Structure 1
Amino acid sequence: MAARQLVEVYLDLLSQPCRALHILLNCNKVPHTVRAVALRKGEHRTPEFTKLNPMQKVPVMVVNGFVLTESDAIMKYLATKYDIPEHWYPRQPERRARVDEYTAWHHNNTRPHATKVFILEVLLPTQSGSQVDEVRLNRALSELADTLDKLESMFLRHQPFLCGDDITLADLLAICELMQPMGGGRDVLQQHPQLQRWRSRVQSAVGESFDRAHAVLYGVRDRRKAKL
């Protein structure tokens, strides 16, 4: 394995993929520097950041001039290049394929469906000052419920984590998405005890890194609750 070189990451911890990357770095004690990019202030659209990532998205990783975008690619790169426990992204082909299977599914299922609930319940009302569109929200919650059912039946099944007996990158990406509606005080796993137990196992596995990564989201939740 390569010696650990200082990793620079550009993050906004209100972003779900940024939190997943933040947890991976911290719970594995990978030396890194965080460069905060406030999406709400448009800092991802500055000329400096656009030069770094023309897609104007976070996270971005820089290691000795090597720039990488997309959370899935960044996390797999770190797990492959650095000396962190193999269970995060197994080298054994079939076990690795299970992680890849979930991350491929994630981008069109868990991610957009959990995000939509947060956007409709928190982001749009905050930005526009309008009331929550209950019809659209209920439709989004129904779509998310279907995704949660599949998450249980296709991936978690009767095993401790999404891809087997050990925590992997898949669990981090999934849990950070499913925590997002917490910004509106909504626990989307409330009716899913099996997924609640999985969430507890993920939190236990990564320790204080979980709450550190979610502090910004908890702040959004608390401020919103105070206004109600």
Structure 2
Amino acid sequence: MAAAHEHLADSADEVPIPFRQAVEALRSARLRPEIEIDPTPAPKRLAPFAYALEAAVVEHGAGPGDEDRDLADGRLVLLHNPAGDETWQGTFRVVTLARAELEPEMGADPLLPEVSWSWLTGALNARAVRYGAPSGTVTRAGSSYFGALAEREPATQIEIRASWTPVEGPGGVPDLAAHLAAWCDLLCQVAGLPPATPDMAPRGGVVPLPQRRGAQPR
């Protein structure tokens, strides 16, 4: 991630110290080995300052010809408005996307949206992340194939879009490393991987859906 700072601003002197510290926390976060993550261009119109990461859950050597296979992927964007934002109820906002391909029977489960959202809130709570004003959507889409593609099995995709306001800590900087780790836990959950540790297992009576199959190589 050596090139990460190029996405912050035209001049480092223009970047508020809390935002710089938040980005450094993202860059230094220790994540599960299945996660591959890199900086990506951030949106320019959502907030005065923004930083973005893209990530994938990778199963090495699992594809045809021992190619790597992406089981899930997504994007995390950190927004910062030093003046605060009424809708955020704070000066920072985390905006995320997580998506994966599911087994068709899993995609047909009527509880899928509720369970998927509980994966997100459960990941944040398991990491003891402090946050507020959460919002989001869970979308599932099915694909059937015809003609030259008729031999392909039907596919179902899930897409979780969410945002929340990280509670600021000392110096006005939230613990962004923990927020990133929680989001990566969500990615691993939709990828069908087991929790990294027992304390990351679902709580509160939430029953995890059956494991999903890996997405097709890109």
Query: With structure 2 as the length reference, what TM-score do the two structures score?
Result: 0.26
Q: Which has the higher helix share?
A: 1
Q: Which has the higher strand share?
A: 2
Query: With structure 1 as the length reference, what TM-score do the two structures score?
Result: 0.25
